[in-house]
Amino acid sequence: MFERVKVSFSSAGTRCAGYLYLPAGRPGRMPCVVLCHGFSGTMDRLFPYAERFAAEGIAALVFDYRNFGESDGEPRQLVDIEGQQDDLRAAVAFARGHEHVDPGQVMIWGNSLGGGHAVSVAADDPAIVAVVAQIPFNGFPKRVEGRSVGQTLRLQAAILWDAVRGKLGLSPYYIPMVGKPGELAVTATAEADQHIRTLTGEHGTTLWRNSVAPRAFLDMARYRPGDAAERLSMPLLVCIAADDRETPQETTRALADRAPHGELRIYPGTHFSFYNDPETREHVLTDQIAFLRRHLPAS
């Protein structure tokens, strides 16, 4: 059992909304894991993870980055790499200052792009106890399987047009986050329809939008969380999918390889198996909880 409390905190003047999951019946201050979602995601996708951590006696804080979900910020649906890192730092500071959290037992868990942020932020915060990076972003792959040259050119044109609109102070030129094969979208695969259902299903809300400002890819093209991994002083667990095309092994395993205390776990399936397959999610969560428990200091 757990208690869920709606919270908010300020990140460089922007209000970020979230929920704090507290294990029921546990006295005193407790360990806490701060969870951050991926590209274009919203915190409701992390509710099942937060529930599981709380059921295991670990408080869990989920939140929306600026420009997404219940948090403030404009333009909407625009991924701001530095801003999201600031939001994660603010979330960690909020957790450390909460009356029910032991400030010396705070951990970070990140998914996809959030996995990259977890590594980058923790590299400059040695007080973080442990980090979990799930299917983490660490730069774009050299080639996206299943995407034709024509589709790539269409996506590049959308990115550049949106960037120009941003420079002119105009509203974003939005494109779908996920679509069917052949459509103009960030991810256009046969799994797209199934993935959309997971975003609007049992734990879904109206927070998520199948829309994103593609100019964010220009900053992401230069973003390499692996460069920060070698500065991690705490243990890092990297969980990846064997057949991931969005964050493939060729980029993600470098995070574990470069971290002084890195561990790598590879699971069957694709990037979307971590969202869509309950058996995969349960297997991964069991390993992650064991990892966090193993590295928690004594109260």
286/291 Cα distance (integer angstroms): 9
- Name the phi and psi angles at 163, rounded to 5: -65, -40
**What pLDDT shows up at residue 205?**
53
- pLDDT on residue 192: 62
Q: How confident is the model at residue 145 (pLDDT cuts 50, 70, 90)?
A: low
Those residues with Cβ within 8 angstroms of residue 250's Cβ, 6 or more apart along the chain or in another chain: 141, 142
Residue 262 C-beta-side C-alpha neighbours within 13 Å: 21
Cα torsion 175, 178, 184, 187: sign = positive
Q: Tell me the three state secondary structure of residue 20.
A: strand
Do residues 130 and 292 touch, judged by C-beta distance below 8 A?
yes
Give the Cα separation of 36 and 92 in Å (integer): 11
Q: Please give the structure tokens belonging to residue 52.
A: 């599981």
For 249-253, the CB contacts below 8 A with 24+ separation are 250/141, 250/142, 251/137, 251/138, 251/139, 251/140, 251/141, 251/226, 252/133, 252/135, 252/136, 252/138
What are the backbone dihedrals phi and psi of residue 80, each rounded to the nearest 5 degrees, phi first?
-115, 105
Predicted confidence band of residue 299 (pLDDT cuts 50, 70, 90): low
Structural domain boundaries in the chain: 2-142+223-295
Identify the pLDDT of residue 242.
Answer: 96
CA distances from 104 to 14, 75, 89, 259 (A): 26, 36, 15, 21
pLDDT at residue 201 tops 70 = no
> 2-142+223-295: what fold?
Rossmann fold (3.40.50)
Give 187's strand partners.
178
Tokens of 286: 């069991």
Asked which of 94-103, 200-209, 255-264, 273-282 is least confident by mean pLDDT, the reply is 200-209
> What pLDDT does residue 194 have?
64
pLDDT of residue 202: 47
Q: What is the mean pLDDT of residues 185-190?
A: 82
> What mean pLDDT is reported for the chain?
92
pLDDT tens string 43-84: 999 999 999 999 999 999 999 999 999 999 999 999 999 999
Distance CA 252, CA 240 (A): 7
Please tell me the pTM assigned to this model.
0.94
- pLDDT on residue 82: 98
Give the other-Cβ count within 10 Å of 236's Cβ: 26
SS3 171: coil
- The band of 26, judged by pLDDT with boundaries at 50, 70 and 90, is confident
- What are the beta bridge partners of residue 95? none
Encoded tokens for 180: 């069917």
Rounded-to-integer distance, Cα 90 and Cα 171, Å: 27
Instruction: Say how far apart CA 93 and CA 88 lie, in whole Å.
Output: 9
